[in-house]
Amino acid sequence: MRNILLVTALAAAILASATARSFAATPTPSGSHTVPPGSVPAGSAHGLPAAHLPTVALHTEVVVEVNKKGQVVRVKSTKPSKMQGFNLETYGNALQMWIRKPDGTSEVGLYRVSYDFDPKTKKVTRRVALVSLGGTWGDEPGAANVMMEMAKKQAAEARKQAQEHHTQLPSLNEIRGAPTPSPVHNATLPP
């Protein structure tokens, strides 16, 4: 037993030293094939596709109802831009946002949220303006909370359906039928 352990340890040491020598002999790359900084498109250095941003200025406006906690309850109206993707992103952003004063308090009301995309800076500016105070939606839950509850219910329903499906599957013995017969003679091994 000791001899086997000694041989195994010796073989591992030889393999490790051979591997280390092969890596040590690998030349380092020279500067002839390196990529200069700034010549790689944004995102491609990490294997991500480069973003294709619009080349024109975009503007959308969303009028939202805000509850007493500052959560957006629903979108009342929109003024879309020329680009549907930008409209969808701003609509989703408006549904998830909170509108509060700098001191952390909020007021129930209608607010206009405007989004402006500048193609030169490639940035979106968001501005919030009060349209009117008050509303009947002050005690309603925020849209983001409602969507999360819906997602939780749908996930629970999907788990329940999957569980019911698994309980309706036949047993493995029913699928296979009768057990396979055993061999009557011992298997012969080659010499």
Domain boundaries, the chain: 53-166
- Residue listed under structure tokens 């020279």: 30
Span 38-42, mean pLDDT? 54
Measured between alpha carbons, how far is 75 from 100 in angstroms, rounded to an integer?
Answer: 17
What pLDDT is stored for residue 151 in this prediction?
Answer: 94
Which two tokens mark 96? 């998830």
Span 78-87, mean pLDDT? 94
> For the chain, what is the largest distance between any 2 Cα atoms, rounded to a whole number of angstroms?
94
Does this model's pTM top 0.85? My answer is no
- Which range, 6-10, 22-26, 158-162, is most confident? 158-162
Residue 56 DSSP class: S
